[in-house]
Amino acid sequence: MAGPRVEVDGSIMEGGGQILRVSTALSCLLGLPLRVQKIRAGRSTPGLSSGGWKSKIKVLTRPQHLSGLEMIRDLCDGRLEGAEIGSTEITFTPEKIKGGIHTADTKTAGSVCLLMQVSMPCVLFAASPSELHLRGGTNAEMAPQIDYTVMVFKPIVEKFGFRFNCDIKTRGYYPKGGGEVIVRMSPVKQLNPINLIDRGCVTKIYGRAFVAGVLPFKVAKDMAAAAVRCIRKEIRDLYVNIQPVQEPKDQAFGNGNGIIIIAETSTGCLFAGSSLGKRGVNADKVGIEAAEMLLANLRHGGTVDEYLQDQLIVFMALANGVSRIKTGPVTLHTQTAIHFAEQIAKAKFIVRKSEDEEDASKDTYIIECQGIGMTNPNL
């Protein structure tokens, strides 16, 4: 099964969890032993100037990276060495991917959505159906909210030719986590390429503003109202339907508030803006932040928003044929995913400026990939 070992420098580009997620998933899928060295957060310390101040926090101090690696190891009965808090190097030797029930628990508010990102491509090529029990934060900072995964990521990623079911058992918020999501999916023989080039026009804007725990319902209503006001300034002719929601006590652990707003287009493209409440930040500000993020994602003329961009790269690399997506500025997360998909999977990517006339004044790009046509050996 094992081919030659792949050596990955964990300090380049995004220099964080993204490198671990992409490289271990591809290593698992392709049966390639992997060593990732120099695992450090390649991110500047927040608040300092860009004078080259690097954060010295080891990236593996984050429990969600650890639980993601352990999950991939368990999915394929692989061997994982060096995966402990504070480690700067891991080695991973994959075996055959198997289906069945797998559990990953960050034991913190570490994101269940990031656990899903690393495991989903692997279980598509498993021997039998899989059920993933993912525990941690469902609505966590620095990661997609579970609502984003269900409302935006799911309908678009299913265009590659598979289906999955995502059952939100309990929501969990920062800092305690305690959420649980169950993902069920069956394996596929191959993935189809996707072609997301035609943006269409925005036909609907909708969303949900939630409060959980001790927070008053008024906070949800205020977030929704502020977001609607902000969107109305720019988009006047569409009804904006943002539902305020009080999360049921038995389906949410801890206290939290947040909002997600989705824009849907005539060709089925989906964009989102989202924001989470923090102690001392007023509800209007949370709503406005999400609305402004959505509007920024609509201005660039792409067919995917900045958060979907990088999540599609691994699937494009594995698909059988040429995939194309149109995006706004290519994010560092996306550049990182492309780099490792080329290095490890040998997929071929071309990123070029969009030549469409209506995109001439905008920062719009086409990401094209000749996928490797990965075939499930078990089916």
pLDDT one-digit tens code per residue, 282-313 = 999 999 999 999 999 999 989 999 999 999 99
Give the pLDDT confidence score for residue 3 in this predicted structure. Answer: 65
pTM to 2 decimal places: 0.93
Digit-coded pLDDT (tens) for 100-120: 999 999 998 889 999 999 999
The conformation of residue 300, written as its DSSP 8-state character, comes to: T
Distance CA 131, CA 169 (A): 14
Q: How many helices (H) and strands (E) does the chain have?
A: 10, 17
End position of a domain, from candidates 266, 300, 334? 300
Sign, CA dihedral 288-239-265-316, equals positive
Angle at 187 between CA 185 and CA 188, to 5 degrees: 125
- Considering the domain architecture, whether residues 289 and 320 belong to the same structural domain is answered as no
- Considering the domain architecture, whether residues 293 and 212 belong to the same structural domain is answered as yes
- Considering the domain architecture, whether residues 289 and 308 belong to the same structural domain is answered as no
CA quadruple 155, 161, 162, 165: dihedral, nearest 10: 20
Give the pLDDT confidence score for residue 317 in this predicted structure. Answer: 98
Which residues are the active-site residues?
333
Beta-bridge partner residues of 93: 79
Supply 297's token pair: 């994602």
- Considering the domain architecture, whether residues 291 and 350 belong to the same structural domain is answered as no
Q: Is residue 244 part of a domain?
A: yes
Q: How far is CA 8 from CA 209, 330, 352, in A?
A: 41, 22, 26
- Considering the domain architecture, whether residues 277 and 331 belong to the same structural domain is answered as no
Tokens 């190097």 sit at which residue? Answer: 89
Digit-coded pLDDT (tens) for 314-334: 999 999 999 999 999 999 999
Give the pLDDT confidence score for residue 62 in this predicted structure. Answer: 65
Give the pLDDT confidence score for residue 17 in this predicted structure. Answer: 85
Supply 315's token pair: 């699937």
Domain housing 318: 304-372
Statement: residue 58 has pLDDT above 80: no
Q: Is residue 139 part of a domain?
A: no
Tell me whether residue 310 is annotated as binding.
yes
- Mean pLDDT for the stretch of residues 69-96: 93
Better-scored residue on pLDDT, 170 or 45: 170
Q: Is residue 219 part of a domain?
A: yes
- Mean pLDDT for the stretch of residues 35-45: 67
Q: Is residue 280 part of a domain?
A: yes
Beta-bridge partner residues of 79: 93
Q: Strand 322-327 vs strand 365-370: parallel, antiparallel, or unpaired?
A: antiparallel
- Mean pLDDT for the stretch of residues 116-136: 97
- Considering the domain architecture, whether residues 232 and 310 belong to the same structural domain is answered as no
Per-residue pLDDT band at 61 (split at 50, 70, 90): very low
- Considering the domain architecture, whether residues 327 and 288 belong to the same structural domain is answered as no
CATH number, domain of 227, equals 3.30.360.20
- Considering the domain architecture, whether residues 310 and 265 belong to the same structural domain is answered as no
- Considering the domain architecture, whether residues 258 and 310 belong to the same structural domain is answered as no
Q: Is residue 256 part of a domain?
A: yes
* Amino acid in the structure at residue 364: T
Give the pLDDT confidence score for residue 359 in this predicted structure. Answer: 78
**Residues 22 and 337: beta-carbon distance below 8 Å:** yes
- Mean pLDDT for the stretch of residues 14-35: 93
**Residues 41 and 58: beta-carbon distance below 8 Å:** yes
- Considering the domain architecture, whether residues 208 and 260 belong to the same structural domain is answered as yes
Supply 140's token pair: 């966590």
Q: Is residue 23 part of a domain?
A: no
Statement: residue 271 has pLDDT above 80: yes
Per-residue pLDDT band at 46 (split at 50, 70, 90): very low
Per-chain mean pLDDT for the chain: 91
- Considering the domain architecture, whether residues 252 and 292 belong to the same structural domain is answered as yes
What is the total count of domains within the chain? Answer: 2
Tell me whether residue 48 is annotated as binding.
no
Supply 127's token pair: 């021997």
CB contact set of 14 (below 8 Å; sequence gap of 6+) = 42, 43, 332, 333, 335, 336
Tell me whether residue 363 is annotated as binding.
no
Tell me whether residue 307 is annotated as binding.
yes
Tell me whether residue 309 is annotated as binding.
yes
Give the pLDDT confidence score for residue 66 in this predicted structure. Answer: 87
Give the helix ranges, DSSP H, for the chain: 17-30, 63-75, 112-123, 146-148, 154-157, 217-234, 283-299, 306-311, 313-318, 332-345
End position of a domain, from candidates 272, 300, 328? 300
Could you tell me which of 150, 52, 68 has the C-alpha nearest to residue 105?
68
Tokens 């797998």 sit at which residue? Answer: 102
**DSSP line for 225-275:** HHHHHHHHHH--SS-EEEEEEE--GGGEES-EEEEEEEEEETTS-EEEEEE
- Mean pLDDT for the stretch of residues 172-179: 93
Give the pLDDT confidence score for residue 99 in this predicted structure. Answer: 95
Better-scored residue on pLDDT, 66 or 288: 288
Digit-coded pLDDT (tens) for 208-260: 999 999 999 999 999 999 999 999 999 999 999 999 999 999 999 999 999 99
Distance CA 288, CA 3 (A): 50
Statement: residue 373 has pLDDT above 80: yes
The conformation of residue 192, written as its DSSP 8-state character, comes to: P
**DSSP line for 343-365:** HHH--EEEEEE---GGGTTS--E
End position of a domain, from candidates 300, 333, 361? 300
Q: Is residue 170 part of a domain?
A: no
Q: Is residue 34 part of a domain?
A: no
**Residues 129 and 99: beta-carbon distance below 8 Å:** yes
Give the pLDDT confidence score for residue 59 in this predicted structure. Answer: 47
- Considering the domain architecture, whether residues 293 and 263 belong to the same structural domain is answered as yes
**Residues 270 and 153: beta-carbon distance below 8 Å:** no
Distance CA 337, CA 315 (A): 11
Give the pLDDT confidence score for residue 40 in this predicted structure. Answer: 66
